[in-house]
Amino acid sequence: MTRRTLETLSFDNTYARLPQAFYARLNPTPFSAPPYLIHADRAAAGLVDLDPAQLMRPEFPALFGGSALATGMEPLAMLYSGHQFGVYVPQLGDGRAILLGEATNERGERWDLHLKGAGMTPFSRDGDGRAVLRSTIREYLCCTAMRGLGIPTTQALCLVGSDDKVYREQVETGAMLVRMAPSHVRFGTFEVFYYRKQHEHLKTLADYIIDQHFLPLRDAGDKYARFFVEVLERTAKLIAQWQAVGWAHGVMNTDNMSILGLTMDYGPYGFMDDYDAGFICNHSDHNGRYAFNQQPYIGLWNLSCLAQALLPLAEKDALKAGLEIYQPLFEREYLTLMRKKFGLVAEQAEDDELIRDFLGLLQGSHADYTIVFRELSTFSTVDGATNEQLREHFLNRDRFDEWAVRYRERLRHECNHDDERRGRMNRVNPRYVLRNYLAQTAIEKAQNKDFSEIDRLFTLLQDPFTDQQGMEAYALPPPNWGKHLAVSCSS
C-alpha cells in the first residue's frame, strides 16, 4: 500500500456534483487562536492510506482544524430536515459541520471527511457553528469504543483544539473533530425533498446513494423498495447491537439516522451502569421518548418516516411489506446476540424467557450490566457449585438460585464445557466500556491541557474484551458521583 502524505491525499467531492439545492458551498471558519492537535487515530488515517507520520506534522491540525484546504476539497454544508422528538422540522442541515470532501484509498473506497465545529453555515439557525472540547472528546472516544465493540459507526480521524472561547451553559474552549464515513446522508436528507415536493431531487438523491453504496440494486426494477429494505435491515441489526451491549443513543431523531446503518451524531449517549430498561441518558428527554427500551420501536418509527419520504419512488405496498419485516428481524438478531452473551450455542424456545428473567433480576438488584455479564462467564455447571461471586450481585438470592438451576440445565443440555464457554463469552461481553464518568474524567483533565486520559481511554477501548494489565480500575463500577451524570444534546 502506498502511504500518502498530506499533499498526496486524493480528494474529490461527488456530493458537490449534485444540484445546488442539496447543499451550501462555504469554507470552514478558522479559529482565531492557532489550532493544535489533541489526538489522532492511526487506524482511521489508514482508511485513506495516510502515513501515520503525517499526523505529527504542524500542517495536520491546520488542514483539519479549518485553517487550510487540500487540493480537491470542495467544502459544503449538507441540507436535510427531520423529525426531532417526533415533530417534523422543515429545515435543519449542517449547522456546525462542513463536508470537506471525499478521500479515496487505493482500494477505491471513498471516505467523507466531515469537519465538526467548523463555524456558522446557512443552516446554523441561532447557533454559533462551533463545537466545544467536551462534546468532541465524547464523540472521539465513543467512535473508538463502538469500533472496538464491533458496532457499525462513523470514525473520527482527529481531535483539534483551540484556546478560542465558546459560550454554552458556561464558557468553554472550542474544538473541531474530523468525522469519517462512506456517506453522511441521513433519513432526513430524503425527508427534506419529500416534504418540499421536490420529487426530482428525491430521485436524484436515491439514485446517487444506490450508485455509490448499493450498486447491486442499480438495475433492479423495484430498486427503491429494495433499497429501503436494505436500509431497514441494517438499522434493525444496528439497534440490536446497541441493545445487547447496553448502549443508548439519546437523540434518535430522523436527522441523526444514517442511511448506511451506522451509529452517528454522538451527543447525550450513555452505556448503562446499573441495568435499567427505562434508562434515559439525555436529561433533556423529559418524556423518555429515547429511553433505552424504546430504541427498537423508535427505529421502526424512524423507518416509517423514511418509507413515507420514498412514496414518490416506490410502491406503497412494497414499503409497507418492508416495514413488516423489521420487528421479527430485530427480535431474531437481538436474541442471537444475547444467546452469545449467555454462552448458548443452539436455539431453544425457552431462551427468550431465560434471558428476560435474568434481565429482570438485574433490574430488581440495580446490578451493573457490563460487570455482571462479564462475570457470568465464570458460572460453573459443576454439581454443588453455588457461583457465590456472581450470586453476590443480586438482592433476591433465592430467585437467582432458581434461575441458576434453569441456566445450568440449559448449558448442560448442549454439553457446554465451562472453560470453552468462558472463552466464547469473554469475546462478546466487554471488560471495559466508555462509562460517562470515564469520559468526564478525560474531559476535566483535557480542559487543563492534560490529554493523557484521552490517550489512555483510546488505547483501552480499542480492545475492550481483553483484560489489560494495570487497567483494573477501569472495569469497576462508577463512583457515586459518576452514576447519574447529566448529559444533554450540547454534550
Known catalytic membership, residue 219: no
| Cell numbers that stand for 196 in this block | 418540499
Helix (H) or strand (E) holding 322: helix 316-324
- Please return the burial class of 479, using the count of CB atoms within 10 Å of its CB with bins 0-12, 13-18 and 19+: exposed
Q: DSSP character for 458?
A: H
Q: How far apart are CA 179 and CA 265, in angstroms?
A: 10
User: In sequence order, what are the beta bridge partners of 35?
Assistant: none
User: What secondary structure does DSSP assign to 372-413, as a single string?
Assistant: HHHHHTT---STT---HHHHTT-S-HHHHHHHHHHHHHHHHH
The one-letter amino acid code at 224 reads Y
Q: What share of the chain is helix, strand, coil (3-state, %, to 5)?
A: 45, 15, 40
Q: How far apart are CA 120 and CA 122, in angstroms?
A: 7
303 in helix, strand or coil? helix
User: What secondary structure does DSSP assign to 448-461, as a single string?
Assistant: TT--HHHHHHHHHH
Q: How far apart are CA 28 and CA 177, in angstroms?
A: 12
Q: DSSP character for 258?
A: B
| Cell numbers that stand for 272 in this block | 448503562
| Cell numbers that stand for 274 in this block | 446499573
30 in helix, strand or coil? coil
Q: Measure the CA angle with vertex 479, ends 473 and 481; round to 5°.
A: 145
Q: How far apart are CA 65 and CA 85, in angstroms?
A: 32
Query: Are 123 and 94 in contact, with CB atoms under 8 Å apart?
Result: yes
Name the E strands within 199-347: 247-248, 270-271
Active-site residue (options: 94, 255, 274, 285):
255
Name the E strands within 105-194: 110-116, 131-132, 155-167, 171-181
Q: DSSP character for 54?
A: G
User: In sequence order, what are the beta bridge partners of 248?
Assistant: 270
Alpha carbon distances (Å) from 157 to 53, 270, 377 = 14, 22, 35
Catalytic residue IDs: 255
